[in-house]
Structure 1
Amino acid sequence: MADALAYDADSRTPVDPAQAVSGMQIGIVLIGISITLPLMYSAGELAQGMGLRSALTATLLGALALSLMSIPAAVVGARTRLSSYMIIEHTFGYAGAKFVNFGFGVFLLGWYAVTAELFGRTLFLAAAELSTLALPEWSYTVLSSLIVTVTTIYGFKAIDRLALIAVPFLLLSLAGVVVLSLRQVAFAELLNMPGTGDIDMPTGVSAVIGAAIVGVVLTPDLTRYARTTRDCVVASFVGQGGGMCIAYIVGMIPVLVWGELEPMTYMILMGFGGIALAVLVFATWTTNVINLYSTALASRASVPLGDYRSVVIVMGVVGTVAAIVGISDQLIDFLILMGLLVPPIAGIYFADFYIFGRRDFSEEHLADRPAIKVSAVLIALGSGLVSAWLYYAGASITTIGALDALILSMLAYSSLEFVLGKRAKQRS
């Protein structure tokens, strides 16, 4: 399945059912995707700002919300056997899908920049500890981005396969970090440690959701390989929910025990040294190759300027500049924003599929639809902006901004489609 996912990402044809796999297999892939440096940093910031007890509660609530939002998206993928790009194109129209993909490209580029900055910082800390090099931190960010960009152009196939080896080692390494940390401070004692109070519960839950919300909307890319609806449920709870719980828990405990937010720093304190560097660097290298690869695909789908290699280079340069500027300093705010602006896209294709029963995804049907479905594009943009305004005004309906955005977009789109459909019938 890994090869198919890597090289059939922009396919316009349904997946052959003979390629279908179990929900557990898809869930394991999603867990591997969840273990990234930005999520570890986000987990550490939540633990410091909320205290472990509240941070764990926020993680569980966020993971549950992600799982529940992922299930309908997963089922759409399994029943259509199509990639998320094709589903979005059928919902928003050919030209409308370009607007959506442009938005995805912006978010993915931001995620690439965050990861690039943290990757460079990890190399900087490792060099300071393990060698006598005295280069500025930004130079490591540039170096790491150069490696990622070159790999994305020439070596994606190799790095994709090596990732299958790196992820298990990363999980074992992080499990060891947690176990050794709990030998220093008892879990019960950690639970009673107060946070700084800088992060409240709605903000914490929104940050957890925002960290994976793009993946939820793009769940069909994976679940088009699912065998049954039950496999979609398993993949959603094991992958989206379980993956976030694992990523956040292993990122919280060491930060509180060792008093360090940097994974490289607390791993060095624990004596991991070179092993920690190898695991973190390779895992982050792999993750950011996928980030840049996805950014390039989304960018070319929305604004086809130049070939794939040129787009990768341009996106790599822009992302590196953003990383040097210091985008990770606003990591929590960035995650919250993603959690508010992305869910309406899923809400609209949920409504199309489940409420209006528009399940004809043939090329002939797509040709009959307008190039841009204005109602869908406007509702997606408007719902995201309104949800963001409600959240920052403290007027959230469900207290979880992502759910507000999802529900609002479904209701607004359904209402508008009903009115437009009724008018069309009256005219005929």
Structure 2
Amino acid sequence: MSSTVEPATVAAGPDRPVDPDYPVTPVPRSARKSFFSLSVVLLGFTIFTPTMLAGAALGTAFSFGKLMMVIAAGSAILGAYVAMMGFVGARTGLTTVVMARYSFGTRGSKLTSVLLGGTQIGWYGVIIGTIGDLTAQALGWESYAARAAVMIAASILMCITACYGYRGMYWVSLISTPLILALACWVVSRSLDEVGGFPGLVSVEPKTTMTVTLAITTVVGTFVSAGTQAPNWTRFARSGSQAALACMIGFLVGNGLMILFGAIGAITFHEGDFVLVLYNLGLVGWGLVLLFGNLWKSNADTAYAFGVAGAEMFRKPRKTPFVIGGCVIGTVLALTGVHNHLIDYLSLLGTFIPPLGGVIIGDFLCRWRRGIPEDHTPQPVYWRNLAVYAVATVLAWLSAEFEMGIPPLIGIVVAIVLTMGLHRVFAARSAAPAAG
């Protein structure tokens, strides 16, 4: 897992990866991608129309100047955290769930696989259900069979893309992301016309109230759980600095733009989702293009994430069986209508997931900056890091319950600080007898 030595696990043998995406072994230097390629994939990941709904909640609660400040602050926090995760992924060449083996142990890492993989399956079902409902709304279909057919067809398309791995997601993102951004910019232009241009937008008074802390938490929370899995893609980067910069582009710029677009839509059309704005403008065809183009690539990324989580959990060298299995489960969830009740549950997991990334970052800074030795074998459980994760999660949860601070940020910072602090304490104790 070293950044300078190709690990022996990549060599021929019974554990040799047969998947070109290397789901459970380091990505070799020969398979690394360009900075442009990585930026396209990460930007495509964050150009996600449901994020606009978070922006819509902010848009009606603040003046335009304060709104920009909130979006900038939240996006900066999110971008910095994901950049750190992306840097570690590039240096190790491993996915988040495989890196967790070295921070939580071979058995302890199962917690990471369950949380990350399970969350992504849930989100997959939510998006499939959303596609079915919005398509039926656009075309005036009222029958369940019609919605179900759309859900199944869309799921098959996304599943195939995820099975192709990095290459499939790159091409889908390369084609759809510019089109989606162009449509979004056009809707923004129409939105400005509705309120008399930029001066009119700035003069709109807030209609609801929200604290700045809650608003920043909302911005960070939009993609902090998904950002914890950024190493799934940045492990293909040629250097840590390239990975960090690509993450900043995707999660600071891309995610920030989608929140801003949603806020503008809410201010002018009283509708944060641009798909529905296009419907209201009578542009149903373009609304469907935006819907499918956007959610196709984002949900393919989601399917890929639970595929690599499954490969790690069951110690298999291929992600494809787990991609297919997860897609089936997610589609069944959507078909049964569970997606209408999953949002609160999945949002709660946003509190529990970021501390995982914090522990991995802290552990990397303490122990693995020079690369993990080839002969290093993880212990079954690293109780100290699991305890840190538990403490950071409880503090993040209490922060959310009492509306004090920014829960995802508190979970991340506490996890990093405690992991590094405890490492130094135990290292000092170990060195004391040796010195004596």
TM category (shorter chain) comes to: 0.7 to 0.9
1:102, distance to aligned residue in structure 2 (A): 0.6
Alpha-carbon distance in structure 1 between the residues aligned to 2:224 and 2:280: 33
Call closer, same or farther: CA 1:151–1:217 in 2, change over 3 Å: same
1:81, distance to aligned residue in structure 2 (A): 2.9
Matches within 5 A, 1:69-218: 69-128=81-140, 133-135=141-143, 142-154=148-160, 156=162, 157=164, 160=169, 161-185=171-195, 186-218=197-229
Alpha-carbon distance in structure 1 between the residues aligned to 2:388 and 2:336: 33
Which of 318, 322, 325 is equivalent to 2:340?
Answer: 325
Query: Is it true that 1:226 corresponds to 2:198 in the alignment?
Result: no
Call closer, same or farther: CA 1:263–1:197 in 2, change over 3 Å: same
Matches within 5 A, 1:369-380: 369-380=378-389
Call closer, same or farther: CA 1:296–1:404 in 2, change over 3 Å: same
- Who is 1:412 aligned against? 418
Q: CA RMSD in A?
A: 3.0
Alpha-carbon distance in structure 2 between the residues aligned to 1:409 and 1:162: 35
1:82, distance to aligned residue in structure 2 (A): 2.9
- Who is 1:14 aligned against? 27
Matches within 5 A, 1:295-334: 295-302=306-313, 307-308=321-322, 309-321=324-336, 323-328=338-343, 330=344, 334=346
1:363, distance to aligned residue in structure 2 (A): 4.6
- Who is 2:401 aligned against? 392
Which of 40, 54, 66 is equivalent to 1:42?
Answer: 54
Call closer, same or farther: CA 1:407–1:100 in 2, change over 3 Å: same
| Mean CA deviation greater in 317-326 or 82-91 | 317-326
Q: Verify the 8 A CA contact 1:268 1:276 in the aligned structure 2.
A: yes
Whichever residue aligns with residue 417 of structure 1, its letter is H
Alpha-carbon distance in structure 1 between the residues aligned to 2:75 and 2:34: 23
Question: After superposition, what is the alpha-carbon deviation per residue over 1:137-163, rounded to whole angstroms, capped at 9, x for unaligned?
Answer: xx6653343224323554543964344
1:243, distance to aligned residue in structure 2 (A): 0.9
Give the aligned length: 407
Call closer, same or farther: CA 1:154–1:415 in 2, change over 3 Å: closer
Q: Residue 174 of structure 1: SS of its match in structure 2?
A: helix
In structure 1, stretches of 5+ residues that fail to align are 1-5
Alpha-carbon distance in structure 2 between the residues aligned to 1:77 and 1:41: 30
- Who is 2:248 aligned against? 237
Alpha-carbon distance in structure 2 between the residues aligned to 1:234 and 1:206: 23
Whichever residue aligns with residue 14 of structure 1, its letter is V
* TM-score normalised per structure 2: 0.82
Alpha-carbon distance in structure 2 between the residues aligned to 1:54 and 1:318: 39
1:274, distance to aligned residue in structure 2 (A): 0.9
Alpha-carbon distance in structure 2 between the residues aligned to 1:364 and 1:267: 57
Whichever residue aligns with residue 23 of structure 2, its letter is D
Alpha-carbon distance in structure 1 between the residues aligned to 2:250 and 2:38: 7
- Who is 2:279 aligned against? 268
Whichever residue aligns with residue 407 of structure 2, its letter is G
Call closer, same or farther: CA 1:373–1:32 in 2, change over 3 Å: same
**Sequence identity (%):** 19
Q: Verify the 8 A CA contact 2:125 2:332 in the aligned structure 1.
A: no
Whichever residue aligns with residue 252 of structure 1, its letter is A
Alpha-carbon distance in structure 2 between the residues aligned to 1:320 and 1:299: 23
In structure 2, stretches of 5+ residues that fail to align are 1-18
Question: After superposition, what is the alpha-carbon deviation per residue over 1:221-260, rounded to whole angstroms, capped at 9, x for unaligned?
Answer: 3333334444244223222211112211222212321123
Q: Residue 213 of structure 2: SS of its match in structure 1?
A: helix
* TM-score normalised per structure 1: 0.83
Alpha-carbon distance in structure 1 between the residues aligned to 2:304 and 2:247: 24
- Who is 1:3 aligned against? none
Which of 357, 367, 375 is equivalent to 1:364?
Answer: 375
Q: Residue 312 of structure 2: SS of its match in structure 1?
A: helix
Which structure's residues are more often helix, by fraction? 1
Question: After superposition, what is the alpha-carbon deviation per residue over 1:300-333, rounded to whole angstroms, capped at 9, x for unaligned?
Answer: 53368995334432243235546443434x4xx8
